Each structure stands twice: as structure tokens, then as C-alpha cells.
Structure 1
């Protein structure tokens, strides 16, 4: 991280970087680890997707509150509000899958198949 986490812009950059790292780790994750990651990402209450909705919604309110100071057009806060609504709708659509991933994440992985015999046959 190049910015201290207490600076909001630096924090946003750090979170973006963490999402990139999570994406890379997901690509290489075992099936069980991938299921756990997906369950957390798709969780509409406490997961990444749910928190993204909250961030976009807050961004819309902040843009509206500070529009005059930053000379932002009203459509900026409206666009952020629409984005929050769309991501929320997507989160609701994916919620059934999130529940399935959460169930799978709590299920122990199946046992590995037995290894084939390695001895020589005569």
C-alpha cells in the first residue's frame, strides 16, 4: 500500500488492490476455498456485494450533499443512486446462490479417492 489506510482515497486504492489480489487467489483456489470466497463475496448483508451497495448508496448521498461545493451536476448523485439500486437488484438475484455457496462452504470436502496401487505386477 502506498497510502496510509486512514486517508480515504488511499483506503479506496488499497481496497481496489485487495480485490485484485482476491481475484487472482480465487483463480488458483481449491474448490472448497473458492466456495468460501464466493459465499463471502455474494453475501448481501455482510459480504463484498452487500457492502458495495452501501458504499454506492453513501456515495450518492455524499455527491448530493457536496454537489454545490464541487460543482457536480445533480445527475451525478442520481447516477450513483441508480448504480446502487442496480447492484442491489443483482445482489438479490444472486442471493439464492449465495445461500447455496454458504451451505457448501460449511460442508466438509468429500474424501479423496484412494490412490491406485503402485507395486509391480508379475
Structure 2
């Protein structure tokens, strides 16, 4: 049997499987450790979100080339380009919260008599 890295389709399947396992594991972590992991995932230089954004951007370049040759409909290229732009914008929005997540992840465990008060959730829409 070939190594998954030699077959790009199998590699994509394996990465997808591992991301699912990673998400399941993240859900079980204590708050400080989960915050550290999320901050690493959001790292704009080497995080998972950055890698996925790069992958979608590369896919968009491929789709553009194929659309120009007539092998793919232009709509595929446009959709991948939009997705790439949206992921980039999302990464920028999330990057402003990376320091907060890192702070939560490095904060020493407190034995305060009063637990932190939950914050009311407010939905803000950015456009």
C-alpha cells in the first residue's frame, strides 16, 4: 500500500479525518489548553486557518487557469476566489482576538472564591 503523501486524494482524506479528530479532541480540553490550541490554529503565519486559506487560494489560481482553457466553468473560479477572499477576511477578524486567547491559555489557574461572570453574547455583523 502506498504512503498517503504520495496520493494527493488520500492525503486530502487523511487530513480531513485528522481535522475531525482534532476538533473532537479540542472539545474535551480544559479551557486554558483549548484557548492555546485555538490561538495556534488562528496563527496568521503558521496556523491551520492560514494553511486552509492558502489551499483555497491555490485552488482558485488553478481554477482560473482551467477556466481560461475552457476546462472549468468560470463560476468555479469565481466561487473559489470569493471563498479565498472571505477566508482571508475572516482570518483578519479573528487575528485581533489571538492575543486574548493566548492570555487565557497562559493565565495561571485561579482559586478565586467568585467564578468569572459570564458575558452576555452580542451579535455584531461586519460588512
Partners of 1:62 and 1:31 in 2: CA distance:
40
Give the CA deviation at 1:102: 2.4
Partner of 1:94: 94
Any idea what SS the aligned residue of 1:50 has? helix
Match runs of 1:3-22 below 5 Å:
4-22=4-22
**Count of equivalent residues:** 110
Q: Is the 8 A contact 1:43 1:50 kept in 2?
A: yes
Q: Is the alpha carbon distance of 1:74 and 1:13 closer, same or farther for their aligned partners in structure 2, counting shifts above 3 Å?
A: same
Partners of 2:86 and 2:79 in 1: CA distance:
10
TM-score, scaled relative to structure 2: 0.76
Partner of 2:120: none
Report the structure number with the largest CA radius of gyration: 1
Q: CA RMSD in A?
A: 2.1
**Structure 1 unpaired stretches of 5+:** 114-122
Partners of 1:76 and 1:3 in 2: CA distance:
30
Partners of 2:104 and 2:63 in 1: CA distance:
40
Partner of 1:110: 109
Partners of 1:79 and 1:3 in 2: CA distance:
32
